């Protein structure tokens, strides 16, 4: 591990994003273009530059570097998750370009700047080496997301969703902050590595640490959308404009996974016997409530929201299947599987909500499952995309969803958690029903007469959508490429 007091080069992507966000905000104030083309192009160019910078840092810096007195960490996990975050935000902007334009969401161009500021918060969270940095990044991301949910001020559902998200988000932040205060009181430090060293020494009182751990897990569960802290997910996903729903559903999940790994594995790894059962309970509840409730949904976005809850159950299963004895090989595979599942879930979600936006048009939101009736007769390529995505989310081979679930089941079996594996398989079979129902509606139902014709899809978003779908298939056929990256990231990152 390399320690540097002030390494600004390591934080160059964050600095660049902050500067470009301010530049884009100022330039947009003088823009007279209703489509905000300059703002859109500059945002995409910024994300492209960040991807190149992050890739360069990954290749040319030590595998694990702490800087700014331990507040900021540069490691393989942070590089990989940030690159995936840049890609997901770029795809979100491309998919949502026409959607936000047709709904008058570009009156001041705030959408692009808020998305970039939310991304900046996520980057700070991903590279956090201190509880203070985690909270700073979390609040920066959350405040931007609250504003995004409420960006359609004349839309009642969006305003209601924003209020629910703000109130429950503030409550979750309170849980997290209270947990941090308990950990600080017990250890005397906010540094994650310092907390780990203090616990490893064995000279501590268990009660305040465990008490703080409970509150930290509650806060993390809210950010992941796990049961019983899932109440905001379906309402906010359904009430938000679909472009904002995609912002919420993709990159923030990567940041939440990163801070879960930093807190639970890096800082509190020696308390695994305490937090592992908590994650197992959250995982089983998420699988049960997510899949069973999704069966009854008629709104496509709401169904995908409950689907998200069930998928977070799989991520938590993988995270909770690490070895209590500290077997590094088992731990690496468990946490690597969790990272693989999260990344592939984000890729699939991007295409799923992206399709909803491409099928929507001015004055019509393609949100209900019945709106997809007979889609194959109106647009075979969109129907084919839905077929691929729903089968992947259901975990059917040879798509990436199958590979991700198989890896989680393998690591559960490896740790003799047969009962958890059986529960996961049972609820996956239940969940397959509502995914297959969507496919049935698309291919075998007659179109509803009142459903408007599909809008013309621009070449760029259509091409990216097809590449997104192809990636879901290719990673299912060759999962080892991404899985190896995840394993390398975990092995070079986590201090066991």
Per-residue pLDDT of the chain (496 residues), as tens digits, is: 555 567 788 889 999 999 999 999 888 888 777 777 888 899 999 999 999 999 999 888 877 788 888 889 988 899 999 999 999 999 999 998 888 887 767 666 788 999 999 999 999 999 998 999 999 999 999 999 999 998 887 778 888 888 989 988 888 899 999 999 999 998 989 999 899 888 888 777 888 898 999 999 999 999 899 988 888 899 999 888 888 999 999 889 999 999 999 999 988 888 888 999 999 999 999 999 999 999 998 889 999 999 999 999 999 999 988 766 666 777 888 899 999 999 999 999 999 998 888 887 666 677 888 888 888 888 888 889 999 999 999 999 889 999 999 999 999 988 888 899 999 999 999 989 999 999 999 998 887 765 656 666 777 888 888 999 999 999 999 999 999 999 988 887 764 4
Residues 142 and 153: their CA atoms lie apart, in Å, by 18
Question: 146: helix, coil or strand?
Answer: helix
Q: What are phi and psi of 30, to 5 degrees?
A: -100, 5
CA distance 221 to 229: 6
Tokens of 67: 């800087």
**C-alpha to C-alpha distance for 355 and 402, rounded to whole angstroms:** 21
Helix pair 242-249, 300-319: axis angle to 10 deg: 0
Decide the pairing of beta strands 72-75 and 2-3.
unpaired
364 DSSP β-pair partners:
361
Cα–Cα distance between 420 and 182 in angstroms, integer? 31
CB-hemisphere CA count at 13 Å for 482? 26
The answer to whether the beta carbons of residues 119 and 17 sit under 8 Å apart is: yes
> What's the token pair of residue 404?
């991700």
Measured CA to CA, the distance from residue 112 to residue 352 in angstroms comes to 21
Please name the residue that has the structure tokens 């009962």. 419
- How many structural domains compose the chain? 1
Range of the domain at 235: 2-493
Give start and end residues of each alpha helix (H) in 61-96: 76-95
| DSSP count for the chain of H helices, then E strands | 21, 3
Contact residues for 126 (Cβ-Cβ < 8 A; gap 6+): 77, 78, 81, 82, 85, 137, 254, 255, 258, 259
pTM for the full predicted model: 0.93
């Amino acid at each position: 591990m390399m320690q540097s007091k002030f390494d600004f080069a390591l934080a160059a992507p964050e600095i660049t994003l902050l500067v470009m966000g301010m530049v884009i905000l100022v330039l947009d104030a003088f823009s007279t273009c209703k489509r905000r083309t300059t703002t859109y192009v500059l945002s995409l160019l910024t994300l492209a530059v960040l991807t190149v910078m992050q890739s360069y840092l990954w290749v040319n810096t030590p595998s694990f570097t702490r800087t700014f007195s331990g507040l900021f960490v540069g490691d393989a996990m942070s590089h990989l998750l940030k690159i995936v975050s840049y890609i997901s935000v770029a795809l979100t902007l491309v998919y949502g370009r026409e959607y936000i334009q047709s709904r008058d969401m570009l009156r001041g161009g705030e959408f692009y700047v808020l998305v970039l500021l939310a991304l900046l918060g996520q980057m700070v969270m991903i590279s956090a080496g201190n509880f203070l940095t985690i909270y700073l990044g979390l609040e920066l991301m959350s405040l931007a997301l609250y504003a995004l949910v409420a960006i359609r001020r004349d839309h009642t559902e969006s305003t209601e969703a924003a209020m629910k998200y703000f109130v429950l988000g503030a409550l979750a932040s309170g849980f997290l902050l209270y947990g941090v205060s308990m950990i600080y009181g017990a250890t005397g430090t906010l540094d994650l590595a310092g907390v780990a060293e203090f616990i490893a020494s064995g000279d501590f009182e268990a009660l305040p640490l465990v008490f703080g751990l409970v509150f930290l897990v509650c806060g993390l569960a809210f950010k992941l959308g796990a049961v019983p802290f899932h109440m905001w997910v379906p309402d906010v996903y359904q009430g938000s404009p679909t472009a904002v729903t995609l912002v919420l559903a993709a990159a923030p999940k990567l940041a939440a996974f990163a801070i879960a790994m930093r807190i639970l594995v890096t800082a509190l790894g020696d308390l695994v016997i305490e937090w592992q059962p908590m994650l197992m309970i959250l995982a089983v509840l998420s699988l049960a409530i997510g899949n069973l409730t999704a069966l009854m949904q008629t709104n496509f976005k709401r169904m995908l929201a409950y689907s998200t809850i069930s998928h977070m159950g799989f991520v938590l299963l993988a995270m909770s299947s690490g070895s209590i004895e500290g077997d590094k090989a088992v731990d690496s595979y468990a946490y690597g599987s969790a990272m693989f599942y999260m990344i592939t879930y984000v890729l699939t979600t991007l295409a799923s909500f992206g399709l909803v936006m491409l099928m929507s048009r001015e004055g019509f939101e393609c949100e209900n499952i019945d709106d997809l009736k007979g889609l194959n007769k109106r647009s075979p390529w969109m129907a084919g995309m839905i077929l691929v995505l729903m089968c992947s989310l259901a975990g059917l081979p040879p798509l990436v969803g199958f590979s991700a679930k198989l890896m989680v089941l393998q690591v559960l079996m490896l740790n003799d958690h047969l009962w958890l594996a059986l529960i996961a398989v049972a609820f996956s079979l239940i969940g397959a029903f509502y995914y297959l129902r969507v496919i049935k509606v698309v291919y075998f139902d007659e179109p509803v007469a009142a459903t408007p014709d599909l809008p013309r899809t621009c070449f760029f978003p259509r091409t990216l959508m097809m590449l997104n779908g192809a990636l879901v298939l290719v990673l299912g056929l060759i999962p080892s490429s991404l899985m190896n990256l995840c394993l390398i990231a975990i092995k070079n990152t986590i201090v066991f």
